[in-house]
Amino acid sequence: MVPETKALLFDLDGTLLERDRSVRLFVKQQYQKYSHHFKDISENHYLHTFISLDQRGYVWKDKVYQTMLENYGITDISWEALLDDYIHNFHTNCLPSNNLDAVFNILKEMGFALGIITNGFTEFQLKNIKALGIERYMDVILISEKEGLKKPNTALFQRTLKVLDTAPDQSIYVGDTFIEPSLQV
C-alpha cells in the first residue's frame, strides 16, 4: 500500500522565489543607486559580473563585492556598503514563482502541511519569505543558519518532519537542484 502524502516541503531560492529574476532586478537597482562609483562600467557589465561571481547564490556576497571592486579598481565605495545594501534591500525585489498564492491556497484547502527548508542566513531569508507573502501558509520554516545544519544534511529534513509529525514516505520535497543527501550531523 502506498502511503498518503501529508506534507509538502519546499526550497526557497529558485523554487518559490524567482531568484534569477529577483537578483537581476536588485543588481540593476543597485547599479543605478551607486552608478556614480561605476563611471567606466556599464550596467550590463556590472550585472553580468555579479551574476558570474554569485554562482547562483552559492558564493556569499561579501566575496562577490570584494572581487568586483578589486577587479574594477574601485576604491571610493566599500564592499561592505554594497553588501549592506544587498542585505537590507534585496527583499524589496523578490519575485514569486508564478501563481504562488493560488497554489498554496489550493494545497492548504486540500489539507497538506506545508513547509520551507532553505539554506542561508536567517534574517535575510525570513525577509525574503515575508516579501513573498507566503509565511502565512507555512506550518514550519527551517533556515540553515538558525538550525546549524545545511541542506542536503538529512537531519534538517528529519527536524522538519518531526515538527509536522509526518513520516518521510508521507512527504515530498520540491526544489530546483538535486544534491545527494548527506548523513552528516
HSE, CB side, 13 Å, CA atoms: give it for residue 137: 26
| Residue 84 Cα to chain centre, angstroms | 17
Closest to 128 (Cα-Cα) out of 97, 91, 96, 93: 91
Q: What percent of the chain has pLDDT over 90?
A: 88
The neighbouring-strand residues paired with 116 are 10, 141
- Which three cell numbers, joined as nine digits, stand for 24? 537581476
Closest to 90 (Cα-Cα) out of 59, 124, 55: 124
- In sequence order, which residues have a C-beta less than 8 Å from that of residue 55 and are 6 or more positions away? none
pLDDT tens per residue, range 64-106: 999 999 999 999 999 999 999 999 999 999 999 999 999 999 9
Flag whether pLDDT at 2 surpasses 60. Answer: no
- In sequence order, which residues have a C-beta less than 8 Å from that of residue 119 and are 6 or more positions away? 143, 144, 150, 151
User: Does a cis peptide bond (omega within 30 degrees of 0) precede residue 181?
Assistant: no
Look at residue 178 in the predicted model and tell me its pLDDT: 63
- Which three cell numbers, joined as nine digits, stand for 110? 486540500
Q: Is 117 helix (H, G, I), strand (E, B) or coil?
A: strand
Look at residue 1 in the predicted model and tell me its pLDDT: 55
pLDDT tens per residue, range 136-154: 999 999 999 999 999 889 9
- Which three cell numbers, joined as nine digits, stand for 123? 534574517
Query: Could you tell me the pTM of the whole model?
Result: 0.89
